[in-house]
Amino acid sequence: MINKDPGGSVKDPEEVSRLLNIEWNQNTDGTSGITYTSALEGSSDNGNYIRYGKVNDTDLDAFYDIYKSWEDNLINIKWNTSTHYGRVLSMQHFTDPYWHCWSESLENIACEYPAFLIIPEKFRTIFYPYSEGH
């Protein structure tokens, strides 16, 4: 196998670094997921990931999690694959810990259910009455 760096020069296979880890699953209950994680040692991108999944939830049955390690920034997106309504949580973008929702016509709307808070464990210094996982 010939390996080339982005500049086009041939690299010794012993010197090739892992750039990306890919983990996936497909379960008998219909759930599935795939995660792409940056694995480039020494890079500020190391540890960044994008995770996509399908879950057994009749309301919001798909999700993306996008994590930027250098910012410690997690973006959560959940939606219904049939009707296309959903919600997004991004502390950095919205500057608040609340879900922001969109309708079936992809218009911003107020969330019809509690604006669940997902706070990483290291930031949980205040009790929040709602929490949710995937």
DSSP the chain: --EE-TTS-EE-GGGPPP-EEEEEEE-TTS-EEEEEEE--TTSTTTT-EEEEEE-S-SS--EEEEEEEGGGTEEEEEEE-TTT--EEEEEHHHHSSSS-EEE-TTS-EE--SS-------GGG--S--S-----
Question: Chunked in runs of 10, what are the mean pLDDT values of the chain (134 residues)?
Answer: 50 68 93 93 89 94 94 93 95 90 95 60 42 41
Q: Domain map of the chain by residue range?
A: 22-123
pTM over 0.95: no
